[in-house]
Amino acid sequence: MRNFKIVVQYDGSRYKGWQIQQDNDLTVQGKIQAVLTKMAEEPVEVIGCDRTDIGAHAENYIANFHTACDLSKDIILNYLYEFLPEDIVVKSIQEVGERFHARYNVKSMTYVYTIDNNTFRNVFNRKYTYHTDDKLDIFEMEKAAQVLVGTHDFQSFTTLKVGNKSTVRTLNFIDITVNDGIIKIEMNANDFLWNMPRIVSGMLLEVGTGKLKASDVQKLLDEKKKPEGGPIAKAKGLCLTEVTY
């Protein structure tokens, strides 16, 4: 069996996230698997690097799949480009060693949350940004962001049913940039818990509007309790931009 690594770009607006579900095929994984299975004339399972949220996007999503198909990688790439929906593009394909696993070999992932902070929403970026005309205090947001950087138990920043699974993660950095009213929250971690990027972004938005302080974020981090009705930023502003191995 050959093992292929692919880099995928997708607009998640109409999808129920990456991961295939039993009750529908409107997932990115489902669409790619269906095309590859038809091409290879055998069942093909596509392994993704992360389970992105419903409506979230990806610029450089990494996945891999095994197949006995003897087609060249260029033919496979062209086939995917021709038969996948227009909102999913496999940007590149590479044959890799048998041991490569898109999920288990990840060293870090980067997500970017984009906020349109102009007075009026932009009709051309409305599917990819969260719009608010509230004046945001960037200095306070940056101060709160630094509270989260490092290795912590992020149990208060996930909707995951914890059970016996560890919720300790390392946030390597959070950078906040502003350009013409567009605010980008870039965060990199060794791994993200379910909904963690959106909850972090939501918390920082609450800080930006003055509803929370940096000390409140520290308190939430220390409490290690599953959030109840806490701020979860809308998925459309979230994009997976980079995965390192």
By annotation, the residues acting in catalysis are 53
CA torsion 151-157-162-165 (nearest 10°) is -30
Residue 118, CB-side half-sphere exposure with 13 Å CA sphere: 13
Task: State both tokens at 119.
Answer: 């007075």
244: which strand partners?
108
Task: Estimate the share of the chain in helix, then strand, then coil, as percent rounded to the nearest 5.
Answer: 25, 30, 40
Distance, in Å, from the CA atom of 157 to the CA atom of 113, rounded to the nearest integer, reads 15
Angle formed by the axes of helices 138-148 and 214-223, nearest 10°: 20
CB–CB of 115/132 below 8 Å?
Answer: yes
Tell me the C-alpha distance between 176 and 184, whole Å: 6
- Which H or E run includes 147? helix 138-148
Judge whether 58 and 111 are in contact, CB under 8 Å.
no
Helix H or strand E encompassing 36:
helix 28-40
Label the pairing between strands 57-67 and 238-244.
parallel
